[in-house]
Amino acid sequence: MCKKAICLFVGLLAMAVFATSGYSQTKAIGIFDGNTDIGTVKHKGNVEYDAQTQQYTVSGSGANIWFDKDEFHFVWKRIKGDFILRTNAEFIGKGTEAHRKFGLMVRKTLDGKSPHINAVVHGDGLTSLQYRKAVGDSTKEQKSAITSAGVIQLERKGSTYIMSVARKGDVFGPEEKIDLDLGDEVYVGIFVCSHNADVVEKATFSNVRIVAPAPPDLVPYKQYLGSSIEILDMATQNSRIIYQSPKSLQAPNWMLDGKSLIYNSDGSLYKFNLATNTPTVLNTGIAKNNNNDHVLSFDGKWLTISSGDGGPSIGYVVPANGGEARRVTVTGKGASYMHGWSPDGKYLVFCGERNKEYDVYRVPVAGGPEERLTNTPGLDDGPEYTPDGQYIYFNSVRSGLMQVWRMKADGSEQTQITNDDNNNWFPHVSPDGKWIVYITFLKSEVAPGDHPFYKHVYLRVMPVGGGPSKVVAYLYGGQGTINTPSWSPDSKHIAFVSNTSLLFPAFPISKN
């Protein structure tokens, strides 16, 4: 080969490398493996990841995602198996085209004509499930009854894809689903298309999650998925994962100084330092097999815990920073699950199993006979005092579905607070006394008297006196997500646990 030919070859090779690197990046971006311009675009797309907020800002151009080919910017991860892909998203700026798009996508390849499926929100509010079944086929669409969705979820079960969408704060609307074989290993991620080759549009994606759900053969309470501790900002509803573990972590509650959380795992309680993101075992003395019913006193000095070392759960009191446990519930009467302190520190309230019925009881912290506060057939659970000590909130199945109830501190005037078509559990009153957060299970997935692991759940907030509820978190979790009071001392944040097999970690994984 002559020198001129060699130079020409090297030059062409350099141009090819430059062109490839200009349109595709394989460097890890948050939970994703890379980002790519799909198809031929005039203006290179981009993604910016804010590690502090765990939010993504995606810029993309492209003429369309339609007919037989696509042009857009894609932020992706290569994965196998079933998954749940979810995000909150919104456009930045007014925009140029009514059909500019953002959403979630699953593709067989990164080629512009690849088979794919996407859950997409258009600039004019149209929200739909769009798909291409084969290479170069025309794109088809199923329109959602929900418009201008701010929350999008795309789930794969085998070869079935399910889209769930909602306006921010609402529960998900009717599902759209399609059977589509894209192969086991696919590209999944978030995207932006400007719908105009000469324009670049931007969207922000928050609460971006790729969840590997429980397999159908998982044995509950014997096999577990990994856990993520998340901190939810109530002002923005943006949630950050602060810690992940392959073990089952459950029921984080905030210590009074705002610097630590307490959670349970494998029968032990842990104190989690929020500054260093490290847990240390909390000494609970003779209480060795602790479950997820543990609550701090209002003054932050004491912890009531529930422990069942080879027998029914028993209530104890232990210093908040660890020490010897003192038993506070009676023996031989059945299980006791501790849920709340009176603000004056004199009483504990708990869910007690007595004669095969579960009701709300209270017992003096200093010792003495327990007092039954509810007396209806079915489960009454999760009692918790308001900060002024006037009321106790709890959840009860007495009206058919599990709902939130309230009663006076002496058990009188029992009143239903929520009344919807879901199962609502574990109401927690904010320290400022203004709000209640509770967890919602879908009645299509969960029986009214059950609160299992690994389900589609919502965290919802309502005014303490009653009123409309709004969703503040959409997640995969359930048992252990917020069994205990989980508000920060300033009422501005909520700590909770979500679950995944950790095939797609969003944070450095701990061995603990």
Structure confidence by residue, pLDDT tens digits, 154-206: 999 999 999 999 999 999 999 999 999 999 999 999 999 999 999 999 999 99
What's the confidence (pLDDT) of residue 331?
Answer: 76
Number of residues assigned to the chain? 512
Contact 164, 135 (CB under 8 A): no
Provide long-range contacts, Cβ within 8 A and 24+ apart, for 377-382. Answer: 378/449, 379/351, 379/449, 380/351, 380/405, 381/337, 381/339, 381/351, 381/425, 381/426, 382/339, 382/351, 382/425, 382/426, 382/427, 382/483
- Report how far residue 262's alpha carbon sits from residue 114's, in angstroms, rounded to the nearest whole number: 48
- Report how far residue 106's alpha carbon sits from residue 234's, in angstroms, rounded to the nearest whole number: 31
- Report how far residue 41's alpha carbon sits from residue 44's, in angstroms, rounded to the nearest whole number: 7
Provide the residue type at 365 as one letter: V
To 10 degrees, the CA torsion angle through 359, 360, 363, 368?
A: -30
Structure tokens at 428: 């927690």
What's the confidence (pLDDT) of residue 508?
Answer: 59
- Report how far residue 484's alpha carbon sits from residue 482's, in angstroms, rounded to the nearest whole number: 5
Q: Is 260 exposed, middle or buried (0-12, 13-18, 19+ CB in 10 A)?
A: buried
What's the confidence (pLDDT) of residue 287?
Answer: 95
- Report how far residue 201's alpha carbon sits from residue 195's, in angstroms, rounded to the nearest whole number: 9
What's the confidence (pLDDT) of residue 330?
Answer: 85
What's the confidence (pLDDT) of residue 1?
Answer: 41
What's the confidence (pLDDT) of residue 333?
Answer: 86
Rg for the chain (alpha carbons), in Å? 26
- Report how far residue 265's alpha carbon sits from residue 282's, in angstroms, rounded to the nearest whole number: 11
- Report how far residue 357's alpha carbon sits from residue 368's, in angstroms, rounded to the nearest whole number: 22
Q: How many CA atoms lie within 13 A of 179 on its CB side?
A: 0
| pLDDT of 73 over the 90 cut | yes
Concatenated DSSP letters of 256-273? TTSSEEEEEETTEEEEEE
Concatenated DSSP letters of 342-367? -TTSSEEEEEEEETTEEEEEEEETT-
Helix (H, G, I), strand (E, B) or coil at 15: helix
| Degrees, nearest 5: CA angle 200-203-209 | 135
What's the confidence (pLDDT) of residue 465?
Answer: 83
What's the confidence (pLDDT) of residue 441?
Answer: 98
Beta bridge partner(s), residue 15:
none
What's the confidence (pLDDT) of residue 38?
Answer: 98
Contacts of 311 (CB under 8 A, 6+ apart): none
- Report how far residue 7's alpha carbon sits from residue 313's, in angstroms, rounded to the nearest whole number: 79
What's the confidence (pLDDT) of residue 309?
Answer: 77
| pLDDT of 23 over the 80 cut | no
Supply the mean pLDDT for the chain.
93
Q: Is 9 exposed, middle or buried (0-12, 13-18, 19+ CB in 10 A)?
A: exposed
The residue-averaged pLDDT of 241-248 equals 96
pLDDT band at 439 (very low <50, low <70, confident <90, very high): very high
Structure tokens at 194: 């400007």
Neighbours of 301 (CB within 10 A): 12
The residue-averaged pLDDT of 127-134 equals 98
- Report how far residue 360's alpha carbon sits from residue 25's, in angstroms, rounded to the nearest whole number: 57
| Degrees, nearest 5: CA angle 219-422-380 | 75
Provide the residue type at 382 as one letter: G
Please give the CATH topology (third level) of the domain spanning 226-500. Neuraminidase (2.120.10)
Beta bridge partner(s), residue 103:
120, 191
Domain covering 26-211 assigned CATH 3.30.428.10 in the classification:
no
**Exposure string for 403-439, b = 16+ CB within 10 A, e = fewer:** bbbbbebebeebeebbeeebbbbbbbbbbeeebbbbb
| pLDDT of 13 over the 70 cut | no
Fold identical between 26-211 and 226-500?
A: no
Contact 269, 282 (CB under 8 A): yes
| pLDDT of 9 over the 90 cut | no
Q: Domain residue spans in the chain?
A: 26-211, 226-500
Helix (H, G, I), strand (E, B) or coil at 22: helix
Helix (H, G, I), strand (E, B) or coil at 6: helix
Percent pLDDT > 90 in the chain is 90
Q: Is 126 exposed, middle or buried (0-12, 13-18, 19+ CB in 10 A)?
A: middle
Task: Report CA 309 to chain centroid distance, whole Å.
Answer: 31
